Amino acid sequence: MSTLKIAVILGSTRPGRNGRAVADWVIDRAGARTAAEYELVDLADWSLPHLDEPLPPSMGRYQGGHTKAWAAKVAEFDGYVFVTPEYNHSIPGVLKDAIDFAYAEWNDKAAAFVSYGTVGGIRAAEHLRTIASAVQLAHIHQQLAFSLFTDFENLSLFKPSEHHDAGATKLFEELEAWSAAMKTLRD
């Protein structure tokens, strides 16, 4: 089987965001993996507007150039690691819009969640699970949750506890297994 491609999607574009350090940590830990290639996809690089497609994305008849480019990028991957902060008990609007812009490109693939916030971003991750289900993403059980109080110095400098390394390994193993299984379904 060919090597899997997995995107680490950084779901915040906020100035001064903590998410870049978290996503870089995920990419660093994924660098030793041999079953998949991991690529950072930073939503700040995409400048997607609020959803502006005239037809529902499930119809697959995208009109905007930004939508077509984004859908093509999403389609490149066999799985995804969503890195999300928790804003008001949910995910950032930019991440919701990025998911909403495509449909078939997400279908029958696997997803994992890495969250951060005052309570580890777990409410955002749980909300994201519901959204992932709606676009037919199979989400794995293992997730990582980083607390602003224990995994960040002064609420901004990312210094995760060492115990997260074992959780990251388990997350990668589950995601790679599910991504490979879902790839056979798509083939």
Strands 157-158 and 152-153: antiparallel
Residue in this structure with the two tokens 């779901």, named with its chain if needed: 11
Task: Give domain limits for the chain.
Answer: 4-186
pLDDT, position 2: 60
Tens digits of residue pLDDT in 74-126: 999 999 999 999 999 999 999 999 999 999 999 999 999 999 999 999 999 99
Determine the topology of domain 4-186 in CATH.
Rossmann fold (3.40.50)
Residue 187 has pLDDT above 90, yes or no: no
Tokens of 20: 């870049």
Position 100, amino acid: D
Contact 140, 111 (CB under 8 A): yes
Position 23, amino acid: A
DSSP one-letter code for 171: H
DSSP one-letter code for 89: T
Contact 8, 39 (CB under 8 A): yes
Residue in this structure with the two tokens 């693939």, named with its chain if needed: 109
Please tell me the distance from the alpha carbon of residue 10 to that of residue 21, in angstroms, as a whole number: 10
Alpha helices, DSSP H, located in 35-163: 65-75, 93-100, 122-134
pLDDT, position 1: 46
Please tell me the distance from the alpha carbon of residue 137 to that of residue 150, in angstroms, as a whole number: 31
Tens digits of residue pLDDT in 141-180: 999 999 999 999 999 999 999 999 999 999 999 999 999 9
Tens digits of residue pLDDT in 3-20: 999 999 999 999 999 999
Tens digits of residue pLDDT in 6-60: 999 999 999 999 999 999 999 999 999 999 999 999 999 999 999 999 999 999 9
pLDDT, position 38: 98
> Which residues lie closer than 8 Å to 45 by C-beta, 6 or more apart?
none
